A and B are shown apart, each in its own frame.
Chain A
């Protein structure tokens, strides 16, 4: 089913709300950046910890030169909703995000592998269709 999702064109990047539902049916909202430079969707370790998917975060992680995030594991989300499309059992990277960035998730190219995504800046929206 085609879904139209509006976004704020005044911002530097495209930010989208994502909703993660845990097995205990609790629903959490995060802001994610649509990042065509990320091979796969990433969540910050702190976000995954509060979801109960990560026991503890690694404290000795530092960003390598040229990298924007530092991936160090993988977890499977019970369900995530991106652009109102529910996706079950999505495997995401556990990453270290710098707190100054103000985001805790990146939507990567795995989303583009599942959906045809049309970005329409003039209309301030994304059109997404399952492939």
Chain B
């Protein structure tokens, strides 16, 4: 049986990985505070592979967000 973990434990056990988590609880910011990790991988396609478990689940990433958004990113990309 898979064990319930805190978000800090998940980050330590699965750094820079995508997670599929069930039986989760959320913190004040709506982030997963604890839950059961059903799938984990650095390859998002492995975690998002259907079918999902037949229960509510959360998808989380333990690494730093790298979204290159905003006008600055657009300017950098186009060397303005």
Contacts and interface: CB of A to CB of B under 8 A. Distances in A.
Interface of A: 5-8, 11-13, 15-17, 26-31, 33, 35, 37, 46-47, 49-52, 65-66, 68, 99-104
Given A51-B52, A100-B66, 4 more contacts: A27-B56, A29-B56, A29-B59, A68-B67
B48 interface: yes
A26 B64 contact: no
Contacts of B32: 29
Interface of B: 18, 24, 26, 28-32, 43-45, 48-52, 54-61, 63-71, 73-74, 77-78
B69 A33 contact: yes
B73 A29 contact: no
B68 A68 contact: yes
B24 A29 contact: yes
A37 B69 contact: yes
B29 A26 contact: no
22 contacts: A12-B65, A13-B65, A13-B69, A26-B52, A26-B55, A28-B56, A28-B57, A28-B58, A28-B59, A29-B32, A29-B57, A33-B67, A37-B70, A46-B45, A46-B48, A51-B52, A68-B68, A100-B66, A102-B61, A102-B63, A102-B64, A102-B66
A103 B74 contact: no
Contact of B26 (A11, A17, A52): A17
Given A28-B56, A28-B59, A16 B65 contact: no
Nearest to A46: B48
A8 B30 CA distance: 10
